[in-house]
């Protein structure tokens, strides 16, 4: 069976998938591993382990007798650079994008380059510190100039994964365009500061997101060393030299894509009417590919930004850290009500809970924290939620709730206040008539019913597209490995009224 292999490096889980020529997933494997710490003691990805996983995964699927691997591509989380030296070895840890950024250095940067507001509008990047990946490289230059001098290329994580198998260092637009502070959206090239600070010399040539490179290594089960390190400058792995399955014909290798941008590709290929996609996970990101208006100051302040699609077009988006907030609060609920955190997935939508929570009926006036209680702690009113902090549920006292289910509905209502405000920012003045939700919240009945209620004039669908990110990475290089036409039924939709 002819297949494409996709390596998907998420922040938590690392997965490899095989898709057949109809883009049906025919094989998968996932794992997670512990992180490590950088030189400052901050938690970060274990780059050595990640590299070994990538090589081992491709080696394993290459040895499967039932599949002929014709292509390989990669998707990975953004805002992360791998800095490699002249010999091809990483010279720094894979820094965590949540690592605190020095305030003084940040102030120096924005003062030098026009101020936070002007700069952010040009680069479509809110001020996010280490989450602006270009700032990571700027920090190395200013704080560790000797280390900066040792860097030959700074590769975003998807392109690093590609480099491991091609030995060719490239840059790609979806990674460059994900709130990196690097790209001038109005002029469609790198911002002036990238040249003035000498970062341009560390950035590999830009190639199309749809391009492929030849496989530069022979892949086999014995091709992975214990450390996962590379031979100098080649990206090649020491080992047996066993060829991939498929009659000796090596697969073509994609250049990798930023995960959120990859998740949009199946929808862009399947729908032509204006739509918005809420991609949910750790972040809930609303992307509107039919809104290319310049960012406003107000939008920037509410954590809006622009991505760049795999075709090079701006995509206005708004971000919410709702998945992370949800996970933390579910743990809190589980401890209080003596339930497993997994129980949250079993909670069915109950409109009675929603009505009671909104009216305050049945509340215990002796307990603080009830959503509609006049004497509760000072909490933002519904619909006035901040989009740059966690929901107000973390401030609620759980003793005010009668059950896990009731409290869980309140949690989702608080998150939905934020989600609606966030999504409206990118729907403004566009003709969007459909909202698709993929990822974890798309499987959450409470979330989906609340979202449909909040947007009565728009059709709201849970999109059943297993591993949309990986599917998008596969579709991006369709023409290089698959002679069949794209199937029209790769996305299954469930309508919520």
DSSP assignment string, 193-226 = HHHHTTGGGGSPPB--TT-EEE--S---GGG--S
Specify the pLDDT at position 74: 98
Cβ-contact 438, 279 below 8 angstroms: yes
| Average pLDDT of span 465-487 | 94
Give ranges for CATH 3.30.420.40 in the chain.
2-255, 259-464
pLDDT bracket for residue 125 (50, 70, 90)? very high
For the chain, first and last CA: distance in Å?
Answer: 41
User: b/e string for 45-73 if b means 16 or more Cβ within 10 A?
Assistant: bbbbbbbbbbbbbbbbbbebeebbbbbbb
Q: What are the structure tokens assigned to 490, written together?
A: 């790769």
Higher per-residue pLDDT: 228 or 273: 273
Specify the pLDDT at position 217: 80
| Average pLDDT of span 152-180 | 97
For 259-464, CATH number out of 3.30.420.40, 3.30.70.640, 3.40.50.300, 1.20.1240.10 equals 3.30.420.40
Specify the pLDDT at position 155: 98
Q: What is the mean pLDDT of the chain?
A: 89
Specify the pLDDT at position 302: 87
Specify the pLDDT at position 303: 84
pLDDT bracket for residue 424 (50, 70, 90)? very high
pLDDT bracket for residue 488 (50, 70, 90)? confident
Specify the pLDDT at position 359: 87
| Average pLDDT of span 71-88 | 96
Specify the pLDDT at position 84: 98
Specify the pLDDT at position 220: 56
With 70 as the cut, is the pLDDT of residue 387 above it? no
Q: What is the pTM of this model?
A: 0.82
Specify the pLDDT at position 361: 53
pLDDT bracket for residue 158 (50, 70, 90)? very high
Specify the pLDDT at position 439: 85
| Average pLDDT of span 330-342 | 97
Specify the pLDDT at position 248: 63
Weakest mean pLDDT among 134-143, 198-207, 243-252, 376-385: 376-385
With 90 as the cut, is the pLDDT of residue 401 above it? yes
In the chain, what percentage of residues exceed pLDDT 70? 88
Q: What angle do CA 235, 239, 240 make, to 5 degrees?
A: 130
| Average pLDDT of span 394-422 | 95
In the chain, what percentage of residues exceed pLDDT 90? 78
What 3-state DSSP class applies to 184?
strand
Q: How far apart are CA 210 and CA 105, in angstroms?
A: 37
pLDDT digits (tens, 9 = 90+) for 295-324: 888 898 888 999 999 999 999 999 899 999
pLDDT digits (tens, 9 = 90+) for 432-472: 999 999 889 999 999 999 999 999 999 999 998 878 899 99
Specify the pLDDT at position 292: 83
Specify the pLDDT at position 150: 98
Specify the pLDDT at position 389: 75
Q: According to the CATH classification, is domain 2-255 in 3.40.640.10? A: no
CA 176 → CA 119, 122, 153, 186, 362, distances in Å?
A: 16, 14, 14, 14, 52
For the ranges 249-253, 368-372, 435-439, 477-481, the one whose mean pLDDT is highest: 477-481
């Amino acid at each position: 069976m002819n297949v494409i292999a996709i390596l998907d490096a998420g922040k938590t889980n690392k997965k490899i998938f095989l898709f057949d020529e109809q883009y049906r997933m025919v094989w998968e494997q996932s794992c997670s591993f512990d992180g490590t710490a950088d030189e400052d003691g901050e938690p970060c990805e274990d780059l050595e382990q990640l590299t070994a996983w990538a090589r081992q995964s491709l080696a394993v699927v290459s040895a499967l007798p039932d599949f002929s691997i014709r292509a390989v591509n990669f998707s990975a989380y953004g805002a992360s650079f791998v800095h490699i030296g002249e010999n091809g070895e990483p010279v720094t840890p894979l820094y965590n994008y949540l690592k605190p950024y020095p305030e003084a250095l940040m102030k120096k940067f924005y003062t030098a380059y026009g101020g936070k507001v002007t700069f952010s509008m040009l680069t479509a990047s809110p001020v996010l510190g280490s989450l602006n990946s270009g700032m990571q490289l700027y920090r190395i230059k200013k704080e560790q100039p000797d280390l900066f001098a040792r860097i030959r290329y700074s590769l975003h994580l998807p392109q690093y994964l590609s480099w491991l198998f091609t030995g060719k260092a490239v840059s790609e637009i979806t990674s460059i365009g994900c709130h990196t502070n690097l790209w001038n959206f109005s002029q469609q090239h790198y911002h002036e500061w990238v040249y003035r600070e000498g970062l341009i010399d560390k950035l590999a040539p830009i190639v199309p997101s749809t391009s492929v490179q030849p496989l530069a290594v022979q892949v086999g089960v014995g091709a992975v060393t214990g450390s996962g390190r590379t031979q100098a400058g080649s990206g090649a792995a020491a080992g047996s030299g066993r060829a991939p399955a498929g009659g000796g014909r090596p697969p073509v290798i994609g250049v990798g894509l930023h995960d959120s941008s990859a998740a949009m590709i199946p929808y862009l290929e399947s729908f032509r009417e204006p739509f918005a996609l809420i991609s949910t996970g750790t972040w809930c990101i609303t992307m509107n590919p039919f809104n290319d208006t310049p960012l406003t100051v107000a939008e920037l302040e509410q954590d809006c930004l622009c991505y760049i699609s795999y075709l090079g077009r701006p995509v206005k988006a708004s971000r919410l850290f709702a998945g992370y907030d949800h996970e933390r609060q579910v743990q809190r609920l589980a401890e209080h009500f003596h339930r497993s955190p997994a129980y949250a997935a079993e909670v069915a939508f109950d409109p009675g809970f929603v009505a009671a929570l909104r009216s305050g009926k049945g509340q215990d006036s002796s307990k603080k924290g009830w959503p509609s209680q006049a004497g509760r702690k000072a909490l933002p009113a519904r619909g006035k939620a901040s989009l740059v902090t966690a929901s107000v549920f973390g401030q609620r006292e759980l003793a005010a709730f009668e059950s896990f289910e009731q409290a869980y509905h309140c949690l989702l209502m608080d998150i939905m206040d934020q989600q609606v405000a966030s999504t409206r920012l990118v729907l403004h003045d566009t003709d969007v008539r459909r909202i698709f939700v993929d990822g974890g919240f798309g499987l959450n009945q409470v979330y989906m019913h609340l979202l449909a209620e909040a947007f009565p004039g728009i059709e709201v669908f849970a999109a059943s597209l297993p591993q949309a990110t990986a599917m998008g990475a596969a579709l991006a290089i369709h023409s290089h490995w698959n002679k069949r036409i794209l199937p029209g039924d790769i996305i299954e939709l469930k309508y919520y009224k």
